[in-house]
Structure 1
Amino acid sequence: MKALSLPIILATLAAGAVPTAASAEAGDVLLRVRGIYVTPTEDSGDILPAFPGETVSLTDAVAPEFDLTYMATDNVGIELIAATTKHQADGVTGVTGGLGDLVETWVLPPTVTLQYHFAPNSKVRPYVGAGLNYTFFWDEEAQDPLTNAVGPTKVTLSDSFGWALQAGVDIDLNERFFLNLDAKYIDMNTDVELDTTAAGMQTIDVDVNPFVFGVGFGIRL
């Protein structure tokens, strides 16, 4: 009898030592902090009217990102994502390509997604989401190569409204903390205006459309 009870006791102790899943349930709030890598897949129009055929490219960026997810049900969550990144617009060919750095701007794209969590009671919980974003472009500045060529320049970038797609996974570390992997695609565009001293007003239509890849940690509040 003692020989039979020992395995039962050991199994019970082992089960108690396994971390409880940080499962998401209706009413839970999940807070995540990620490091993100933002890579625009830009499609630039020409710099008009002075530089037809010349376009711009946008630099990648790394930044922290914060988000809150409210679980409306065990499977459905509503997430608010906030981060800001700095990017440069560089000339690609011709005269502006020879200048290099043209414009620098900060980008703030608050995004709300509606998520579906496939396995809310599992230790590995994949999810997908879709939603909307409104992007603010702020602290726009002309860079030295541009102002040296055409004089003082006022830069304006229009804000953007678009959609977003998301996929990710939460992986439990213990009953409250979890690892998060996340990827998003954000529909984003802007009209760039360069009010230059020597060349007058120049405009560029840029579809930014970045992929955002994130790795971080979360906590169930």
Structure 2
Amino acid sequence: MLNLKKSLILAIVMVLTANTYAVQKGDWIIRGGLTNIAPQDNTGGVVTVDSKTNLTATIAYLVTDNIGVEVLLGLPFKHDINSGGVKVGEGTHLPPTLTAQYYFNETKAGFRPYVGVGYNYTFFLEDKITITSGGLAGGHLKMGNSTGFAYQLGFDLEISEGYGINLDIRRFNIENKAHITNIASPMEFNVALDPTTIGLSLYKEF
């Protein structure tokens, strides 16, 4: 058992300190995987939005050995909107984001953590009221688009030459204005989603 632990520790050290393929100025990094987006509850439980997981991809370009620019893309996220524990509607959105990144460690390091700050544009593709009884039944829901800052923390871990795995955590500032019409008393209110996302991806360096 002791030898197994020593071997595991040695393997981890070798991965983290190995002189591997150099990602440097002028290189591209393409990542693709799954991301879970978890909106915050900023209404005291009056309105909640559930978390969802979907496919995402990023394209990053190294402007210098340590500074990169990244674009976040992905498939639409479809969320259930709940009130009082009951589903009342649905919202489908895309959150494309442009991010400036700083990569730590040397370019030949097999483990490269990074931080980033970016700007997000969230637009809703489809929103609707789904409840069929009560005061909201038959209403029309419209979620406004929004812009805001996004903050990022992640790392790349190379597992073979030019290939590796990526873990990415982001926090978005997303505040939308929601409109519900075609009901007895039309409503307009702010929805501060401010989601946290966690993504796990594979990547390829070019």
Same fold (TM over 0.5): yes
Structure 2 residue 108 is the aligned partner of structure 1 residue 121: yes
**What is the CA-CA distance between 1:203 and the residue it aligns to?**
2.0
The alpha carbon displacement at 1:89 in A equals 1.2
Q: Which residue of 2 aligns with 1:138?
A: 125
Q: Deviations for 1:116-161, whole angstroms, at most 9, x for unmatched residues? A: 0002220001100001001001211111x2x432342111001111
For 2:205 and 2:19, the matched residues in 1 are separated by 13
Q: Does the CA-based 8 Å contact 2:19-2:108 persist in structure 1?
A: no
Q: Does 1:39 align with 2:31?
A: no
Specify which of 41, 44, 55 is matched with residue 46 of structure 2. Answer: 55
In the TM superposition, residue 200 of structure 1 has moved relative to its aligned partner by 2.8
Conserved in 2, the CA contact under 8 Å of 1:42 and 1:206? no
1:22 CA drift (Å): 3.3
Residue type at the aligned position of 1:185: R
Kept in 2: contact 1:22–1:178 (CA 8 A): no
Where structure 2 has 5 or more consecutive residues not aligned to the other structure, the ranges are: 1-17
Partner of 1:7: none
Aligned partner of 1:112 in structure 2 is 98
Residues 1:196 and 2:188 are matched in the alignment: no
Q: Structure 2: how far apart are the matches of 1:22 and 1:212? A: 29
> How do 1:178-217 and structure 2 match up within 5 A?
178-197=164-183, 199-217=184-202
TM-score (norm 1): 0.79
Q: RMSD between aligned alpha carbons?
A: 1.7
Q: Aligned pair in 2 of structure 1 residues 157, 73: CA closer, same or farther (>3 Å)?
A: same
Q: Does 1:166 align with 2:152?
A: yes
**Residues 51-90 of structure 1: pairs in structure 2 closer than 5 A:** 55-83=46-74, 84-90=76-82
Taking the TM superposition and a 5 Å limit, the aligned residue runs for 1:94-105 are 97=85, 100-105=86-91
Structure 1 moving runs of 4+ over 6 Å: none
Distance 1:42 1:68 in 2: 31
8 Å CA contact 1:115–1:129 kept in 2: the answer is yes
Aligned mates of 1:169, 1:22 — CA distance in 2 = 16
**Highest Rg: 1 or 2?**
1
SS at match of 2:186: strand
5+ unaligned residues in a row in structure 1: which ranges? 1-18, 46-53
Q: Distance in 2 between matches of 1:61 and 1:207?
A: 17
How far residue 213 of structure 1 moved from its aligned partner, in angstroms, is: 0.2
SS of 1:205's equivalent in the other structure is: strand
Determine the C-alpha separation between the residues in 1 that align with 2:21 and 2:204. 8
Percent identical residues: 27
SS in 2 for 1:173: strand
**CA apart distance, 1:20:** 6.2
Q: With the length of structure 2 as denominator, give the TM-score of the two structures.
A: 0.85
Identify, as 1 or 2, the structure richer in helix: 1
Taking the aligned partners of 1:210 and 1:23, their CA distance within structure 2 comes to: 34
For 2:203, give the aligned amino acid.
Answer: G
